[in-house]
Amino acid sequence: MKNILHPPDDIRCMKTLNKDKIKTTVQVHCLSINEKKLQGIVPLLKNYLMKIEKFKPIQHIADNKVEIYLSPELIKNWSGLPNDIQSALEKNSVTENDLKIKNVELTYENFSAEDLLRAILPADKEGLSSFTKIGHIVHVNLREHLLPFKSIIGDILFDKVQGCKSVVNKVNMIDNTYRNFHMELLKGENNMITAVKENNCTFKFDFSKVYWNSRLCTEHERIIKKLNQQDVLFDVFAGVGPFSIPAAKKRCIVYANDLNPESYKWLEYNAKANKISNEYFQSFNKDGADFIKTMIKKHLPINLENENNIFITMNLPALAVNFLANFEGLFNPDELPNITKTPLIFLYCFVKGENYTELAKELILENFNCNVSDIIDIFRVRTVSSLKEMMRVTIRLTREILTTENLRKRKFEDHEDNNTKRSKDGKEQEESR
């Protein structure tokens, strides 16, 4: 169905916001009725009202009259109303004679940010597919062809996104060491210290110096729901605490680590701000490998002896897989008690390709000395871009891995055999053509 309630066509490729030019007139069918009939009429028409920003579909006018504006996309004449609605209106003494056509002027104020940007940005190229709100900050990632429009994009988002005080554009790739990126202020205050609420916790941080992705809120919640009181969480790349703080608030025993000094500062701040007891929370400012080799090595045996459920989150998708090898041979056999409850790793990674589940499995097996059977779940968290997926791989951390002496011995012969068979079958098929 064509959208009639859209901005004017002549604003395409506007680079400087001119609100006066964003005006259009549409013809709308309007029922004019006595105000006394309103209570019986509105429930009949609630699905057919004209719905657009800052426009009242029910307007009181003089002489106890009310005008009810109907959606021009749905109602083009009296017969456009379903027969049962027509009959119900007529029982209330409202007939086709009460339906009038009125010209309604729509302005900049009536259109959403999405409507305006869709009308303004080039039609033959990919538009601004999404933006993210982090507290008072609206964050965009503009592709090169949208940079000439960055000023008007900033103006529109600043105006239209509720609570927005700053609009920023990412200007380079995320720094792999500290997971932050340089930003360009498009509109508003140059204040990057913000706060967000997630999973019954408040997180404050400097968005220009730490990593935060609001699109991972649901994933954070999924993991927190897997944890119970007195479970143990080792958070290797904790950031400002989206896994660690809610887990500790749930009275899990949490060891949270991040290499970035700014992330570590806000991690500690957020623990105090959310009234997390030191009984349940310890924080560290170490490299991930160092944290595994020292703090996990120190605290894992104790918690295994206590038969606690143990979870390890590794949320550094671009690099986390490279840290898995630090678990191999972490202990001498006599340093580790017999395992009755196997620790689980939630490893996050990026893969590119259509068969993302197999690609994630192959990535783990190429970088970690585990069996195929140790990979117990592969879950697609979100689509990052075309054919690029963020995955969560759940790995069973067995005693064999933790005490192995053959650090780089591969244990996925069945996996290799399947790949060899597929390759052989494909070659035979090619030769038969």
Identify the CATH number of the domain in which residue 310 sits.
Answer: 3.40.50.150
Print the domain residue range for 38.
23-110
- 185/223 same-domain check: no
In a domain, 297, yes or no: yes
- 244/384 same-domain check: yes
Report whether pLDDT(422) > 70. Answer: no
Q: What is the structure's pLDDT at 158? A: 98
- 171/317 same-domain check: no
Report whether pLDDT(235) > 50. Answer: yes
The Cα angle at residue 397 between residues 326 and 283, in degrees rounded to 5: 60
| Percent share of the chain, pLDDT over 70 | 90
pLDDT digits (tens, 9 = 90+) for 50-100: 999 999 999 998 888 999 999 999 999 999 999 999 999 999 999 999 999
Q: What is the structure's pLDDT at 426? A: 45
- 99/225 same-domain check: no
- 324/406 same-domain check: yes
In a domain, 203, yes or no: no
Q: What is the structure's pLDDT at 4? A: 83
Calculate the average pLDDT of the chain.
Answer: 90
Looking only at the bridges linking them, the beta strands covering 132-134 and 166-170 are: unpaired
CATH of the domain at 170: 3.30.300.110
- 106/126 same-domain check: no
Structural domain tally of the chain? 3
Average pLDDT on 140-160 reads 96
- 225/319 same-domain check: yes
Report whether pLDDT(433) > 60. Answer: no
- β partners of residue 348: 392
Report whether pLDDT(172) > 70. Answer: no
- Best-predicted range by mean pLDDT among 129-133, 168-172, 319-323? 319-323
In a domain, 7, yes or no: no
Q: What is the structure's pLDDT at 410? A: 42
Q: Are 152 and 14 in contact (CB under 8 A)?
A: yes
**What separation in angstroms does the CA of 380 have from each of 39, 61, 328?**
49, 55, 26
In a domain, 393, yes or no: yes
- 230/314 same-domain check: yes
- β partners of residue 396: 344
Residue at token pair 């068969």: 355
- 104/130 same-domain check: no
Q: What is the structure's pLDDT at 296? A: 98
pLDDT digits (tens, 9 = 90+) for 249-281: 999 999 999 999 999 999 999 999 999 999 999
- With the CA atoms of 11, 14, 18 and 20 taken in that order, what torsion angle do they form, in degrees rounded to the nearest 10? -10
Instruction: Categorize the per-residue pLDDT at 201 as very low, low, confident or very high, splitting at 50, 70 and 90.
Output: very high
Looking only at the bridges linking them, the beta strands covering 99-107 and 132-134 are: unpaired
Listed residues 110, 132, 166: the one ending a domain: 110
In a domain, 391, yes or no: yes
Q: What is the DSSP letter of 220?
A: H
- Best-predicted range by mean pLDDT among 122-131, 309-318, 330-339, 400-409? 309-318
Q: What is the structure's pLDDT at 418? A: 47
Instruction: Categorize the per-residue pLDDT at 429 as very low, low, confident or very high, splitting at 50, 70 and 90.
Output: very low
Listed residues 131, 162, 191: the one ending a domain: 191
| Percent share of the chain, pLDDT over 90 | 81
In a domain, 331, yes or no: yes
Report whether pLDDT(375) > 50. Answer: yes
CATH of the domain at 71: 3.30.70.980
pLDDT digits (tens, 9 = 90+) for 12-64: 999 999 999 999 999 999 999 999 999 999 999 999 999 999 999 999 988 88
**What separation in angstroms does the CA of 20 have from each of 17, 108, 179?**
9, 8, 42
- 186/218 same-domain check: no
In a domain, 206, yes or no: no
In a domain, 202, yes or no: no
- 182/282 same-domain check: no
- How crowded is residue 428: how many other Cβ atoms within 10 Å of its Cβ? 9
- 182/217 same-domain check: no
Which two structure tokens, joined as six digits, stand for 146?
A: 């949208």
